[in-house]
Structure 1
Amino acid sequence: MEQFSYICFTIDAMPILQRLLLLFFICFFALTVPVIGQDGWVKRFIQKTISDTTAPGKPSFRFYPTLAYAPETGFEFGLSSLVLFQAKNDTLNRLSEVQAFGFVTVKGQYGLWIDNAIYGDRDNWFFLGRTRFQKFPLLYYGIGPETPGKEPALIDANYLLFRQRVLRKIIPNFFIGPELDYQQLYNTSFEQPEGHLYEKPLGTDGTINVGLGAAVVFDNRHNVLNVRKGFFGEISFLKYHPGIGSEYTFHGINLDVRSYHPTNQRNVLAWQVYGNFYSGNSPFNQLALMGGEMIMRGYYSGRYRDKSMIAAQVEHRWLPFGFSKRFGAVAFLGAAVVAPKISEFATKHIRTSGGIGLRYLLFPRRDIYLRLDVGFSEDGPNIYLFTGEAF
């Protein structure tokens, strides 16, 4: 599931003291809010926004503030919300979730992100998708498995994305259905760095692309935000063509396989294999992108991009520690490679990343954690703060 209750910021350009102070502040902000405030309006606010008093099976709504920092945006302030429910309030149905995140920055940038994993009555229907609107800069390092590590271009644009799968259960845990993808870039600008000139890729002057296709999904998970045991597998095909409103003609196959294995009552070993394979005239923003908050944590999203990518990661989760009811941790490793074609994947271009994370049990009745991850790569560390696990 593609999850983006977002906070991610790059700290490699910051002095070491500022990094440590910022990390301490965010850890304090994220993990101590649920326990501060013993009296008056502070206590009532926390009880309404973060407490987990909803009875099993009943819908629940929570919201909480977020804070981030990135060199290209400055400080960023946001508000995240999370809606959890089960169809017809029946605890035998899978837990559905809708996450929303709105943000503004001190430089006047803003956005709204919405993600959904909704199971219909008796899990016969599965709506899996994401919606994005943002005015936000994109760092561009070029296309290919070997691109400059410094002085990226800055692409500023308004970005709109709507992607939704409408899946019908055929047999238990097996879903199939159509998929729609709409992506638009407009009001774009391409700012070259002083020491390096990039060739402007397809799409940097603005573009609209519409894709239609189908997805096949096997999913026997029960709690999407924190899977203790289960398997998720998806393969989808999308075709973009002027006949359906797309500016460019291209097509892609997407693969996502995840498996979860409990090692004891609290701990979980999880792994994921993820791939994107595109052919045709793909715009730069719809190439396979390495990095981000889900896979290859530690790399800026799109640090490496091309028409094909294969990535894998493994993660061990202590949820919670044996000596704590609320706190836990994870350790993770990942590897990925991009190339123009599958046949051109090369071992010398494989990139690796890894890291550790803290967990705080935000909703005990739902077994949902707030995660703070630090991912390390050859480009330096990145920090991510989210609701729910990376995969």
Structure 2
Amino acid sequence: MRCFLPLLLLLLIFPFQATAQRDDGAIIRSDTLNNKSGLKLIGIPVIFSTPETGFGFGGGGQLFLTGEKNIFKSRKSNILFTGIYTANAQLVIQALPQIYFGSGDYYLDGVYEYRVYPNFFWGIGNNTPESNEEAYDMTSHKFRADFLKRLPPSLNFGLRFNFENHQVTEVEEGGLLDAGDIPGSDRAVIVGLGAIFNLDTRDQVEDPKGGYFVSFSAQFSSENFGATHGFNRFITDLRAYRPLGKKGLLAARLYLENNFGEVPFQAKAQFGGGDMARGYFKGRFINDQMYVLTAEYRWRFLPRWSLAAFGLMGEVGDTNQDFFKAPHFSMGGGVRFKILKEQNTLVRLDYGIGEEGNSGVYFGVNQAF
């Protein structure tokens, strides 16, 4: 993955420097929609690399709803949609709506994802050896919708509906998944409801400049709803953003996930990935319980450019009593670029270094948290 770093830096710098030399109005006028219609569309070319995908490319956009009832503070309702294909023959089509109603009194947060995704599996546990690595193919449909009610000024609560259908289409002969002893080794359907409560004082979602995000959620998957496995999941997500001087910011996150019941491997907590534990392959370690603690310093040296450095620790286990026995560590840094002056959407390039040769380059949209 390291060989992609110089190429990605060039892709990140030169195309957007050319954009910056044009006036922003020219960018907006080139869009198919504009503010007069209550909509604004920003095209986003997608070029990236992660340990899970290798080099990938595609395209997408972010559709903003600019009507007064669809804006809460400085946050604009939007739908981010992308379609990508990777060097590992993975296809991912995704739509992420975040829509405010009644000037923020109600909030819809959702995701739809279709994946044809060759992947790797090392078994279940916090110390699975590299020699366990086996390949498998899986096709997935995911749909999740959260509908929240806001209690001014910053409290939100609501319900979640979750549906996932994972079909394992190919496994390695004689491997762990081929034995059929692991739940979900051939197929997993996850269907259920949940409840969400959060406190959100951030000024924006894409690139917060201050505030807190405190979220608690509980959800279940039930065979009564058509699921193949019944289990309960509880997630605690704590984030804080503290300005340091005029250009610096310290961001911190504690993520805790607890699963109980017959949990298919697709639904177990996954350590790694660009959004959770940079420096490790997403799913390098999986189990029913997980925590990840991350701290990141962000320094904006130009109005649209910033640098970041991060460190993290975390692990998975059968129970919470297994925590802090053998944590995994990672550190790294990267660069971010704000696409348009008047919008908060940014692209970021990170490099993370974990233990025992684990590392990864991550190129994507918006901050990791």
TM over 0.5: yes
Letter in 2 for 1:94: R
- Deviation per CA, 1:203-250: give whole Å up to 9, x if none: 121121102111111112231101001111111111111111111111
Residue 388 of structure 1 pairs with residue 366 of structure 2 = yes
> Which residue does 1:364 correspond to in 2?
341
Q: Distance in 1 between matches of 2:158 and 2:275?
A: 24
Do structure 1's residue 181 and structure 2's residue 155 form an aligned pair? no
In 2, Cα distance between the equivalents of 1:221 and 1:333?
Answer: 22
What are the equivalent positions in structure 2 for 1:53-92 lying under 5 Å apart?
A: 59-68=39-48, 75-88=55-68, 92=73
Could you tell me which residue of structure 2 aligns to residue 33 of structure 1?
15
1:315 alignment partner in structure 2: 296
Counterpart of 2:282 (choices 284, 301, 322) is 301
SS of the aligned residue for 2:277 comes to coil
Match of 1:134?
Answer: 115
- After the TM superposition, which of the residue ranges 213-222 and 285-294 deviates more from structure 2? 213-222
Q: How does the TM-score come out when normalised to structure 2?
A: 0.89
Structure-2 change in CA distance of 1:327 and 1:172 (3 Å): closer
Change (3 A) 1:183 1:197: closer
CA distance in structure 1 between the aligned counterparts of 2:304 and 2:20, rounded to whole angstroms: 19
1:75/1:228 Cα in 2 relative to 1: closer, same or farther (>3 Å)?
closer
Tell me, what secondary structure is at the counterpart of 1:366? coil
| Distance in 1 between residues matched to 2:238 and 2:297, nearest whole Å | 17
Cα separation, 2, equivalents of 1:227 and 1:25: 28
Question: How large is the RMSD of aligned CA atoms in angstroms?
Answer: 3.1
Aligned to 2:239: 258
Are 2:325 and 1:343 equivalent residues in the alignment? Answer: no
Per the normalisation by structure 1, the TM-score is 0.84
| DSSP 3-state at the match of 1:349 | coil
User: Relative to structure 1, is the Cα distance of residues 124 and 76 closer, same or farther in structure 2, using a 3 angstrom cutoff?
Assistant: same
What pairs up with 1:140-155 in 2 under 5 angstroms? 140-155=121-136
Question: Aligned equivalents of 1:223 and 1:271: distance in 2?
Answer: 16
Q: Helix, strand or coil for the counterpart of 1:348? A: coil
1:217 aligned onto 2:198: yes
Distance 1:196 1:175 in 2: 40
Deviation per CA, 1:338-359: give whole Å up to 9, x if none. 11111222x2321111110011
* Change in CA separation of 1:26 and 1:150 when aligned onto 2, cut-off 3 Å: farther
Whole-angstrom CA distance in 1 between matches of 2:154 and 2:266: 32
Change (3 A) 1:316 1:291: same
Deviation at residue 252 of structure 1 after TM alignment: 0.9
Deviates more, 1:164-173 or 1:67-76: 67-76
Please say if residues 234 and 257 of structure 1, whose CA atoms lie closer than 8 Å, have aligned partners that are also in contact.
yes
Distance 1:273 1:161, change over 3 A: same
Q: Is 2:330 the partner of 1:353?
A: yes
Change in Cα spacing, 1:315 to 1:75, as seen in structure 2 (3 Å) is closer
Range 331-340 or range 168-177, more displaced? 168-177
User: Could you tell me how far 1:146 is from its partner in structure 2?
Assistant: 0.9
Residue aligning to 1:241: 222
Query: Which one-letter code corresponds to 1:277 in the other structure?
Result: N
Q: Is 151-160 or 60-69 further displaced after alignment?
A: 60-69
Change (3 A) 1:69 1:172: closer
- Structure 1 letter corresponding to 2:343: R
CA contact (8 A) 2:49 2:361 kept: no
Preserved contact between residue 93 and residue 121 of structure 1 (Cα < 8 Å):
no
The residue matched to 2:130 in structure 1 has which SS? coil
Unaligned ranges ≥5, structure 1: 1-10, 12-18
Residue segments in structure 2 that go unaligned for 5+ positions in a row: none
Whether the aligned pair in 1 keeps the contact of 2:168 and 2:185 (CA below 8 Å) is no
* Contact 2:123–2:132 (Cα < 8 Å) also in 1: no
